[in-house]
Chains A and B, each alone.
Chain A
């Protein structure tokens, strides 16, 4: 009876060349030689940890790792009020490198980089699996390391890093140490702040565009990371992992720098914002948080700057609705009239509403409605917008005509 392996091969299953398993000793030697690191004992076995310390000031990273900006707005945005009062030493910055990007239980984190501030140092620990069987030790060591942390900072951690790690803990049926920590996922905030300005909100691009950091030659792109590790498992050669270690360390450093940058930006946007568009985004952020007066101030600041017309109009629109809610009609009408003059249909409509319901000047309301209809009928007007507005405006015009007629009859 041929072996199963032979039968599978005869059915055409590709087995590849019989792999010579690298001796564990050789492999471990290669790891210490190329990426350094030490063993740390846990009750679940040894964990392999690579530690690095960066002084908070005077390190090589080109942007500040911490500053004195307030965390209040950030905390409010994340829905984690406690974060506002936290000290830098309360945060853990976390980034994982995994064996695949598709998710699922068979994907594990062969490297988990976590950093904390200790005194004047930014301490990074990279929990590395020299082989998959060390995972229990790794997870236990991560738990130990996170023991003092009060909040988690990640980039896309809500959808990727945290679920991946939770899955690992679940697999061994341990409670996950990540579940109850307040979590600031900077990707979501970055999307909110820089959607209009930057084409890409990937961490590497933000790092370059916002923080002015460029990575060194060791950097490997994220999509290559899984294969580099899987190759290492087969060959036992840890040299190519150097790039991965660097990549992971940079990701973690950038998280801290980005958090610092955002905190500064949100604490004093008028002075800290590098771009007028950011002011508008921060205004919107405040509006979302129900902080109307902050939003109003930022919108007004925007209007005072030499903006592109689209940005100006958007700020004006936002501000006009703030005024409308405050029933500050004069201010609102002024913005609407200017905007209407620049072709904004909503502004026509608001004016028509105002004159119809507030002032009961039906003829004026009719005039604005007709003007809107004229505007959308001009040939250059986007056709989809025309379809969107037309029925509403026509209904309004009809109703106004009816009202005007019945008023006339009453006279």
Chain B
């Protein structure tokens, strides 16, 4: 077996074996098969048989029974455990038996819907009467839509389309809603945080409209392994669900390896880059004929991986065994790559998590995770992509230099003991709720006292009265009528990111301009700014210009030896202070802020050597986010007492062999005078201080550049280092709060951002930690944080003090601050003063 030979090779090759910090073999699981239910419609029975399925896994049979009993079901079993059959059998059986019955499938992406349509058609081949199955999404041609609305019995769509393209026009779907038996929500774990909170409200609207036409559909939801499938499902559909989580599918054993790249520079504690390392390991996959995916954490990573891999293997033809896959490719390109993977022509594919959701590409021999995906749940989801039938498979997690990855590489048991994260949503968030009550009122007038989902009538009436006040509604003859010109759904985006897309237009001599892909409006400024090198399918292009208003960027083919890296600057200013209060050691505040992010320039970096070739300024329009924030400013006394406590021991840095010369050069330049107080050396040499701390440089030489050095007397030097330490503690505080806050807010960690500033405008020049919301206008998180401040501080100190690490780790105060190192003791010290 090729995988076995590869593993033997790795085991016996010390350069590889010694980097593997954990070699866990997840034992194979025998399938728990049961016979296909007798009462399944014969046509489906036959379709299963002709597809080579002679029996069901126990969880599939369980889903069949539960749904037959009319219960809502949530199926949470592993990747590739045949979840789709859990809903396809009961739904298709119903559709085949009852010509009136309709069903709605919701997928988080258009690509998934496409994928599922094919397998549904296969199951329906033997149906006595055709069951009209169709995708209805933004890509469905307008001309085809009326027929789909009238005849479609199984509609595949996504929440966004349901929200903006179906519910506001529900009258066109009258028959469909009147006979809607099932709603399937696939991959429900995607619906968390702000997106999930929106989707839960879209489902409230969906149920309201179904009820208007007299139906009360049954729900079937599926989920990847998450901590709280039942809670999430019940929050989404607001009804009790039966959990089906006893995975009856069989799977081969999986070797789960954690690989920490070797240290290449002891002095600087530098490890080999995850990029080179994953290319190196992928070459072995190719050599041993093991088909595999390399999951990169960014689109850029994926492109770089492909490029290096092609250079390594000398391949570049179109029919290539090595491909990349990420969002931003055109659907046709994606389909072609998926096909190549299924047929085996594509041997190695570098991909982002765009390939993580259930795109049907079959099982891989191996999966390489180039960096921790951020959650345990996501790790298992990606690892689950490896494994074909009962064959052995390989999942390898490559640790990056990121402290979180390093922590995991050094504490691999974390993976195998910790339960996966919970997906949190808050459908009752005031602003999200307001958005959807507006949408619902447009879809059918509310009457006074009518509830909305589980929101009681009185509360809804308060919202309605508020909307009357804004002029959006009018109470007339006992109903609240929508009296505004605009259609509210069009103004509400379910995903916080704007829907603006920037088309990438390739200008190439002798060929008409051609769209080769797209990026979202928010990423455009840093991904495709003028002068940027944009990588697409391992080809490099130079961005000639970017037109944000018209929504396109012009690219020309550009063969070069460098890539570009944008420089981004974030600034937060106050719009309006809403509340403030004194708390122990600090002041808490909340209010509206303006977050300005600007790409101010970019660096050209040479391939391979990583040498900075040049730095170019850019004049890009800043992107502005008006949102709400909660912030905490440390009192002057707090800072002083931290300064005086002097609890930090100064570990000497190893400044390299050339340090004595650099140090002397700096002293000579500064005429042996302290640059802070003007004291001239007298008997004892002054210290030489790194303006930007030594540890934040990649190379000793760079850190020791004369421009980065200044001469200080010992007293001034201590003060300077103190400032760094305070910062570090502040960064640690910012990290803990940023990670803890989502637990209290029940939101996705990415819904909020933190910012630590030692001299903040928002904090009267005092050291400040700011937590702000990522959604324009915010959704009330900052208000909540302000309220629970004391509770938040209490759990923060508990978290930091109970952590077993010595000087900070990703699970407490995080990686060292931007300036300074460690920071655990400093963070704890600040937190103590805040209790």
CB pair B466–A100 under 8 Å, yes or no, is no
- The residue of chain A having its C-beta at the shortest distance from the C-beta of B209 within the complex is A105
A-chain residues with CB within 8 Å of residue B683 when the two chains form the complex: none
CB pair A11–B444 under 8 Å, yes or no, is no
Q: Select the stretch in B339-347, B476-484, B798-806 that faces chain A.
A: B476-484
CB pair A10–B578 under 8 Å, yes or no, is yes
Q: Roughly how many angstroms separate A243 CA and B592 CA in the complex, as a whole number? A: 44
Residue B32 CB within 8 A of the other chain: no
B-chain residues with CB within 8 Å of residue A18 when the two chains form the complex: 469
The B470-489 residues at the A interface (CB cut-off 8 A) are: 470-471, 474, 476-479, 481-489
CB distance from A289 to the nearest CB of B (A): 23
CB distance from A108 to the nearest CB of B (A): 7
Residue B817 CB within 8 A of the other chain: no
CB pair A170–B174 under 8 Å, yes or no, is yes
- The residue of chain B having its C-beta at the shortest distance from the C-beta of A5 within the complex is B466
CB pair A100–B485 under 8 Å, yes or no, is yes
CB distance from B295 to the nearest CB of A (A): 38
CB pair A15–B592 under 8 Å, yes or no, is no
Contact partner of A11 (CB less than 8 A), chosen from B174, B441, B486, B778, is: B778
Q: Select the stretch in B163-171, B376-384, B522-530, B548-556 that faces chain A.
A: B163-171
CB distance from B796 to the nearest CB of A (A): 26
- The residue of chain A having its C-beta at the shortest distance from the C-beta of B440 within the complex is A106
Q: A8-B466, A13-B434 are in contact. Are A226 and B485 (CB under 8 A)?
A: yes
CB pair A8–B431 under 8 Å, yes or no, is yes
CB pair A4–B578 under 8 Å, yes or no, is no
Residue B430 CB within 8 A of the other chain: yes
B-chain residues with CB within 8 Å of residue A234 when the two chains form the complex: 471
B-chain residues with CB within 8 Å of residue A171 when the two chains form the complex: 171, 444
- The residue of chain A having its C-beta at the shortest distance from the C-beta of B463 within the complex is A4
CB pair A170–B171 under 8 Å, yes or no, is yes
CB pair B487–A104 under 8 Å, yes or no, is yes
CB distance from A291 to the nearest CB of B (A): 28
CB pair B474–A12 under 8 Å, yes or no, is no
Q: How many residues of B contact A (CB 8 A)?
A: 45
CB pair B442–A4 under 8 Å, yes or no, is no
CB pair A4–B487 under 8 Å, yes or no, is no
Residue A267 CB within 8 A of the other chain: no
Q: Roughly how many angstroms separate A106 CA and B592 CA in the complex, as a whole number? A: 33
B-chain residues with CB within 8 Å of residue A189 when the two chains form the complex: none
Q: Roughly how many angstroms separate A108 CA and B459 CA in the complex, as a whole number? A: 27
B-chain residues with CB within 8 Å of residue A106 when the two chains form the complex: 168, 441-443, 482, 487-488
- The residue of chain A having its C-beta at the shortest distance from the C-beta of B489 within the complex is A104
Residue B490 CB within 8 A of the other chain: yes
Q: Roughly how many angstroms separate A45 CA and B490 CA in the complex, as a whole number? A: 34
Q: How large is the interface on A (under 10, 10 to 19, 20 to 34, 35 or more residues)?
A: 35 or more
CB pair A227–B485 under 8 Å, yes or no, is yes
Contact partner of A102 (CB less than 8 A), chosen from B490, B777, B779, is: B490
B-chain residues with CB within 8 Å of residue A226 when the two chains form the complex: 485
Contact partner of A4 (CB less than 8 A), chosen from B174, B466, B592, B783, is: B466
Residue B450 CB within 8 A of the other chain: no
CB pair B168–A131 under 8 Å, yes or no, is no
B-chain residues with CB within 8 Å of residue A107 when the two chains form the complex: 487
CB pair A102–B487 under 8 Å, yes or no, is yes
Residue A14 CB within 8 A of the other chain: yes
CB pair A132–B487 under 8 Å, yes or no, is no
CB distance from B542 to the nearest CB of A (A): 30
CB distance from B436 to the nearest CB of A (A): 13
CB distance from A159 to the nearest CB of B (A): 11
CB pair A105–B469 under 8 Å, yes or no, is no
CB pair A105–B483 under 8 Å, yes or no, is no
Residue B324 CB within 8 A of the other chain: no
Q: Roughly how many angstroms separate A12 CA and B485 CA in the complex, as a whole number? A: 22
- The residue of chain B having its C-beta at the shortest distance from the C-beta of A24 within the complex is B476
Residue B827 CB within 8 A of the other chain: no
Q: Which of A16, A106, A166 has the most CB of B within 10 A?
A: A106
- The residue of chain A having its C-beta at the shortest distance from the C-beta of B441 within the complex is A106
> Per-position contact with B for A140-173: 1 when CB-CB < 8 Å, else 0?
0000000000000000000000000011001100
The B451-509 residues at the A interface (CB cut-off 8 A) are: 459, 462-463, 465-466, 468-471, 474, 476-479, 481-490
CB pair B484–A230 under 8 Å, yes or no, is yes
B-chain residues with CB within 8 Å of residue A102 when the two chains form the complex: 486-487, 490
CB pair A104–B485 under 8 Å, yes or no, is no
A-chain residues with CB within 8 Å of residue B468 when the two chains form the complex: 19
CB pair B168–A132 under 8 Å, yes or no, is no
Q: Roughly how many angstroms separate A141 CA and B100 CA in the complex, as a whole number? A: 34
Q: Which of A3, A45, A101, A105 has the most CB of B within 10 A?
A: A105
Residue A99 CB within 8 A of the other chain: yes
Residue B780 CB within 8 A of the other chain: yes
CB distance from A174 to the nearest CB of B (A): 12
Q: Roughly how many angstroms separate A275 CA and B485 CA in the complex, as a whole number? A: 41
Q: A5-B469, A12-B592, A99-B485 are in contact. Are A132 and B474 (CB under 8 A)?
A: yes
Residue A382 CB within 8 A of the other chain: no
Residue A134 CB within 8 A of the other chain: yes
Q: Roughly how many angstroms separate A3 CA and B462 CA in the complex, as a whole number? A: 8
Contact partner of A15 (CB less than 8 A), chosen from B171, B470, B484, B489, is: B470
Contact partner of B430 (CB less than 8 A), chosen from A11, A99, A103, is: A11
A-chain residues with CB within 8 Å of residue B462 when the two chains form the complex: 3-5
> Per-position contact with B for A80-111: 1 when CB-CB < 8 Å, else 0?
00000000000000000001111111111000
CB distance from B589 to the nearest CB of A (A): 14
Residue A188 CB within 8 A of the other chain: no
The B33-64 residues at the A interface (CB cut-off 8 A) are: none
Q: Which of A103, A133, A226 has the most CB of B within 10 A?
A: A133
CB pair A4–B431 under 8 Å, yes or no, is no
Contact partner of A105 (CB less than 8 A), chosen from B168, B459, B470, is: B168
Of the A-B pairs whose beta carbons lie under 8 Å apart in the complex, a sample of 24, sorted by A's number, is A5-B466, A7-B430, A8-B431, A8-B434, A11-B430, A11-B431, A11-B777, A11-B783, A12-B777, A13-B431, A15-B469, A15-B470, A45-B477, A100-B484, A102-B487, A102-B490, A105-B443, A106-B442, A131-B476, A132-B477, A132-B481, A132-B483, A134-B477, A230-B483
**Which residues of A line the B interface, CB within 8 A?**
3-5, 7-8, 10-16, 18-19, 45, 99-108, 131-134, 166-167, 170-171, 226-227, 230, 233-234
**Which residues of B line the A interface, CB within 8 A?**
168-171, 174, 430-431, 434, 441-445, 459, 462-463, 465-466, 468-471, 474, 476-479, 481-490, 578, 592, 628, 777-780, 783
- Extra 7 A-B pairs, beta carbons < 8 Å, given A10-B578, A105-B443: A11-B778, A12-B592, A12-B778, A13-B434, A102-B490, A104-B443, A133-B478
Ranked nearest first, the 6 interchain pairs of A and B with the lowest CB-CB distance are A133-B477, A106-B442, A133-B476, A132-B481, A106-B482, A104-B168
